[in-house]
Amino acid sequence: MEYEIRGGSFPIVICTLQEGETIKNETGAMSFMTSGMTMETNTGGGLLKGLGRALSGDSLFLNFFTAETDNQQIGFSAHSPGKIMPFKLDGSNTIIGQKNAFLAAEDSVEIEVFFKNKIGTGIFGGEGFILQKFSGEGVVFLEIDGEVIEHELQEGETLLLDPGHLAAMEETVGYEIERVKGAKNILFGEGLFFARIRGPGKVWIQTMPISKLAEAIIPFIPTSSGG
C-alpha cells in the first residue's frame, strides 16, 4: 500500500492499493473510492473486540475495503481540524492512541481497547481514561486534533498534562491518571484529573482536543427563544 496525505487543517489521506490488499476504517470516515474497491462491514475480530472499540468511543463495526485490481484508490478524511499521522508498525512496536483517534489501518494491524486505570473511573473520566492499542504489522493512521507536538522522554523523565491533550504514545511510556488534589485546584484549576507520563519513549501531544473545541464554540451557538 502507498499513501499520500493532503490538505492543511482539514486533511485527507489517499491510499493506493494493489489487488488483494485490504484497508479498514471506522464507519463514516471514507470520502471516496474508485470502482475497483469492494466493501464489507463486520465487527473486525468478533463481538468482544467490537464492544471494546465501542467502549473506547469508536463504532462497534469496521469497514473493510479490498482492491479487486491494481492501483485502486480510497480516501479517508479527518473528522475535525487537525492532522493525520501515519504510524508504521513492524511487529516489535506498539502505539497507544487517544480514544476516537483511529482513522484507518492496513488489515494486518490489530486494534484493541487499552485500560490503564479502573474501568469505573474510565467510564466517567472522559478523554485519557480509555485508550486504544495498535499492534501487529502495517500502517495505522491516527487523527490529531489541532497541531501536534512530538516529545521524546528519556528514562525516568516525567510530564504532566491534561488527559485530553495526549494524542498518542509508544507502549514503553508509563501512563497514569491521577486526581487533582485540593478543593481550590478542583474549583479553579484545569480539571479533576491529569495524566502523568514517564519515559522512555515518544509522546505526541495535540493542541486542541475536539472536546475543548466544542466547549469554545458552544457560547457562540444561537439558542432559540420561546414565544
130/180 Cα distance (integer angstroms): 18
Please report whether residue 219 resides in a domain. no
Q: Which residue reads 486542541 in cell numbers?
A: 208
Distance of CA 175 to CAs 85, 131, 147, Å?
Answer: 21, 11, 22
User: What pLDDT shows up at residue 222?
Assistant: 86
pLDDT tens figures, 148-169: 999 999 999 999 998 889 999 9
Please report whether residue 6 resides in a domain. yes
pLDDT tens figures, 32-86: 999 999 999 987 655 555 455 555 555 678 999 999 999 999 999 998 899 999 9
111 has pLDDT over 60: yes
139 has pLDDT over 50: yes
Please report whether residue 29 resides in a domain. yes
Domain residues for the domain of 103 are 2-213
Q: Are 15 and 84 in contact (CB under 8 A)?
A: no
- Can you tell me whether residue 182 is helix, strand or coil? coil
| Nearest residue to 143 via CA among 2, 24, 11, 31 | 11
Query: Phi-psi bin for 171: left (phi > 0), alpha (psi -120 to 50), beta?
Result: alpha
Please report whether residue 102 resides in a domain. yes
Pairing of strands 130-145, 102-106: antiparallel
User: What pLDDT shows up at residue 227?
Assistant: 46
Q: Which residue reads 485530553 in cell numbers?
A: 164
What pairs with residue 203 in β-bridges?
151, 169
Share of the chain above pLDDT 90, in %: 58
192 has pLDDT over 60: yes
| Nearest residue to 175 via CA among 185, 184, 166 | 166
125 has pLDDT over 50: no
Please report whether residue 223 resides in a domain. no
Please report whether residue 222 resides in a domain. no
User: What pLDDT shows up at residue 144?
Assistant: 95
The number of distinct structural domains making up the chain is 1
146/104 Cα distance (integer angstroms): 19
What is the domain-level CATH number for residue 84?
3.60.160.10
Higher pLDDT, 32 or 191: 32
Please report whether residue 224 resides in a domain. no
Please report whether residue 146 resides in a domain. yes
